């Protein structure tokens, strides 16, 4: 029997670690959380300081038995779960269970933490053990209790007021609000026409274009030219004034530097993987977990390829920096390494200095060399992480820009041409940060021919261009994660589950990589924003996250925080249970009369989405599809307050 027992979360992680340690160590996996709140009312007791009732999850019974059996023959227990709030909670739960079984007598118990699964990191952690951070456990308990209390009290209210099977969550509901509000913005958007005017110039070295910026002495704004007639009149006047040429009035050259982006944290990895690889947040975190936990990379050697993937810190360890700088010098040249390592400022006040950014465990493990040992997804994500990490420690890029103002007839009419050339690519030779919604970056080169003030450039033509303003784009995974982070809603480690929950509940659908709210999602959001305004408010949600972070730092006690939340919340639940009528939630008045009885029509929610129906139902049974022009009555008729005796769904005529 091994004298030392080490507990980690996953079997993949246990296999990697077991290869680093001798036969005196046995490594077992807990397979995630061993126990959770009992799945019924009373799991959290607000009247007893929010005492929580747990049970071992059925699927984990055999893992508990395996750990219990192994511990009997061991002298020392090492709790080596992940270095974050969830990992701390898993270790604490296991410890509490073992204490209850009286299995810790004469046993040494240690908490060990490492941020990468390498032999050096694991050995160092075991040689320098610590204790469970109870403040992290308190923060996790508070989060779990809050989520339970919101879900277990608000969801049944949605069942009564809208339909069965719905749910609301502390963090998912503000995220839903974000998606619905964007959709309403798009629907309310009024397209506006505007025109621009471009000169095409036939320079002997290279043709180029210039855009009209001033006309008749006035600087043009976006809507200065609003219609075709105005555009044509302006174009004709300019052609006449130009007399076949534009004259260079001013030429301005500048050189600017562009610095690399910081190494990845959880949220930026999720955003970039969505933009560049088309990965969902869930897929990104799953693949990152595999890279972190380790795999065979040849010669029977298992290795964790990246550091821990749940982090808010952009720090890089001194040893890692040395390693990265050495690789840059060898692979790209000594002139590509800045004099001193680059440092980046961590935005999150909750990020721990001991934590690092997401980086390769060894810079010398070049993606191309590992490709044959990795799956396609693993290679793509590792390649992304490796390039971002290397680039962040390279020299800046140098970009030469030139702006040319050209006179058309008189200095009251000005065209401007701009060009940019990457003089020294620096880090851009390795990695460029992605952008949302196809906004053009300054990495796109546009060349202009050599010119001097006073030069007359032959004019090829002056053309008019029609444009229309566009509504804001719907959220994709990358832009939603970015917005959640900017608003302080949730934490990066929870974004994947937030998005999955919204999709699983059919509150949103993902079409062409953009989120669209469903009819049910709209109704749920309307109910929550009208009746639980505070609890879907972005600032309230963010402040609560900050308070939970303060608990994890030991600056705040979790029980008073729970009381402050629960007292007004439970009162509001009871008030709304009595005061809100189902028809007020599921029906929306419209300015139209029923063609059959003359009573007002309303938009109503049925099993297959929203439809238009008569408010005098059941006396009048007129219905039609929401998008019909009123000539057909094809939508299903929902029988109010009556459910199917077999499946409890709405009954339709």
Catalytically active residues are 308
Phi-psi region of 623 (alpha: psi -120 to 50; beta: other; left: phi over 0): beta
Contacts of residue 193, defined as CB under 8 A and 6 or more positions apart, other chains included, come to: 226, 227, 466, 467, 468
Q: Is the dihedral of CA 61, 65, 67, 71 positive or negative?
A: positive
How many helices (DSSP H) and strands (DSSP E) are in the chain? 18, 25
Encode burial over 253-288: b for 16+ CB neighbours within 10 A, e otherwise.
Answer: eeeeebebbbbbbbbbbbbbbbbbbebbbbbbbebb
Q: Is 248 left (phi over 0), alpha (psi -120 to 50) or beta?
A: beta
Secondary structure E strands in 53-121: 54-56, 76-79, 108-111
* Buried/exposed code over 416-452 (b: 16+ C-beta within 10 A; e: otherwise): ebebbebebbbbbebbbbbeeeeeeeeeeeeebbebe
Tokens representing 79?
């709790």
- What is the DSSP secondary structure assignment for residue 535, as one 8-state letter? G
Residue 622's φ and ψ, nearest 5 degrees, are -65, 130
Spatial neighbors of 607 by CB under 8 A, at least 6 apart, are 636, 638, 649, 650, 652
- Stated as kind and residue range, the H or E segment containing 580 is none
Identify whether the C-beta of residue 597 lies closer than 8 Å to the C-beta of residue 619. Answer: yes
Quick check: 626 and 609 in contact, CB under 8 A?
yes
In this structure, what DSSP letter does residue 331 have?
A: H
CA–CA distance, 512 with 480 (Å, rounded to integer): 15
Cα–Cα distance measured from residue 111 to residue 262, given in angstroms and rounded to the nearest whole number: 31
User: How far apart are alpha carbons 397 and 546 in whole angstroms?
Assistant: 37
Contact predicate 120/81, CB 8 Å: no
Q: Report helix, strand or coil for 232.
A: helix
Helix (H) or strand (E) holding 328: helix 318-332
Cβ-proximal residues to 319 (8 Å cutoff; 6+ apart), any chain:
none
Tokens read off for 211: 């855009």
Cβ pair 120, 304 in contact under 8 A: no
Provide the angle, in degrees to the nearest 10, between the axes of the packed helices 172-188 and 538-552.
150
Is 408 within 8 Å of 414 (Cβ atoms)?
yes
């Amino acid at each position: 029997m091994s004298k030392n027992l080490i507990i980690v979360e996953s079997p993949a992680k246990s296999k990697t670690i077991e290869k680093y340690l001798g036969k005196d160590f046995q490594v077992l996996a807990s397979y995630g959380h061993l126990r959770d709140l009992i799945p019924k009312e009373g799991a959290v007791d607000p009247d007893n300081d929010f005492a929580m009732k747990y049970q071992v999850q059925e699927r984990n019974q055999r893992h508990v038995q395996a750990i219990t059996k192994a511990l009997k023959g061991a002298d020392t227990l090492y709790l080596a779960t992940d270095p974050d709030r969830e990992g701390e909670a898993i270790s604490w739960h296991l410890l509490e269970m073992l204490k209850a079984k009286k299995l810790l007598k004469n046993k040494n118990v240690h908490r060990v933490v490492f941020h990468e699964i390498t032999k050096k990191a694991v050995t160092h952690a075991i040689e320098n053990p610590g204790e469970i951070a109870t403040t992290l456990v308190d923060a996790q308990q508070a989060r779990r209790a809050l989520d339970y209390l919101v879900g277990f009290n608000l969801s049944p209210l949605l069942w009564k007021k809208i339909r069965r099977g719905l749910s609301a969550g502390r963090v998912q509901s503000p995220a839903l609000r974000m998606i619905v509000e964007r959709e309403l913005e798009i629907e309310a958007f009024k397209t506006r026409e505007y025109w621009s005017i471009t000169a095409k110039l036939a320079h002997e070295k290279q043709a180029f274009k210039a855009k009209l910026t001033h006309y008749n002495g006035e600087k043009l704004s976006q809507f200065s030219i609003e219609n075709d007639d105005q555009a044509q009149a302006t174009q004709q006047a300019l052609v006449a004034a130009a007399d076949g040429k534009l004259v260079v009035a001013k030429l301005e050259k500048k050189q600017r530097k562009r610095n690399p982006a910081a190494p990845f944290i959880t949220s930026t990895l999720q955003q970039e993987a969505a933009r560049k690889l088309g990965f969902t947040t869930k897929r990104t975190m799953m693949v990152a977990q595999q890279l972190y936990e380790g795999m065979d990379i040849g010669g029977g050697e298992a290795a964790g390829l990246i550091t821990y993937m749940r982090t808010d810190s952009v720090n890089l360890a001194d040893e890692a920096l040395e390693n990265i700088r050495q690789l840059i010098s060898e692979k790209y040249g000594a002139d590509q390494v800045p004099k001193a390592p680059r440092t980046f400022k961590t935005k999150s006040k909750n990020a721990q200095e001991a934590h690092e950014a997401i980086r390769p465990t060894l810079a010398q493990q070049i993606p191309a060399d590992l490709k044959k040992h990795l799956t396609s997804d693993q290679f793509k994500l590792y390649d992304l992480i490796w390039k971002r990490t290397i680039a962040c420690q390279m020299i800046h890029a140098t970009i030469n820009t030139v702006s040319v103002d050209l006179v058309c007839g008189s200095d009251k009419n000005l065209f401007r041409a701009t060009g940019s050339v990457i003089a020294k690519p620096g880090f851009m030779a390795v990695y460029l940060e992605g952008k949302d919604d196809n906004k053009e970056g300054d990495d796109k080169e546009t060349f202009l021919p050599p010119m001097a003030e006073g030069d007359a450039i032959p004019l090829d033509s002056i053309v008019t261009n029609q444009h229309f303003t566009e509504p804001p784009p719907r959220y994709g995974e990358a832009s939603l994660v970015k917005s959640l982070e900017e608003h302080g809603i949730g934490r990066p480690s929870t974004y994947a589950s937030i998005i999955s929950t919204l999709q699983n509940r059919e509150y949103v659908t993902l079409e062409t990589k953009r989120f669209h709210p469903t009819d049910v999602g709209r109704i749920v959001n309307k109910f929550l924003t009208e009746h639980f305004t505070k609890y879907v408010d972005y600032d309230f949600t963010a402040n609560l996250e900050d308070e939970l972070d303060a608990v994890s730092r030991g600056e705040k006690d979790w029980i008073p925080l729970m009381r402050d939340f629960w007292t007004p919340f439970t009162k509001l639940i009871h008030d709304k249970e009595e005061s809100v009528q189902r028809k007020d939630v599921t029906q929306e008045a419209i300015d139209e009369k029923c063609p059959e009885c003359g009573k007002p029509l309303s938009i109503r929610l049925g099993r297959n989405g929203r439809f238009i129906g008569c408010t005098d139902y059941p006396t009048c049974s007129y219905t039609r599809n929401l998008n019909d022009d009123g000539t057909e009555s094809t939508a299903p008729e929902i029988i109010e307050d009556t459910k199917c005796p077999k499946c409890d769904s709405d009954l339709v005529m």
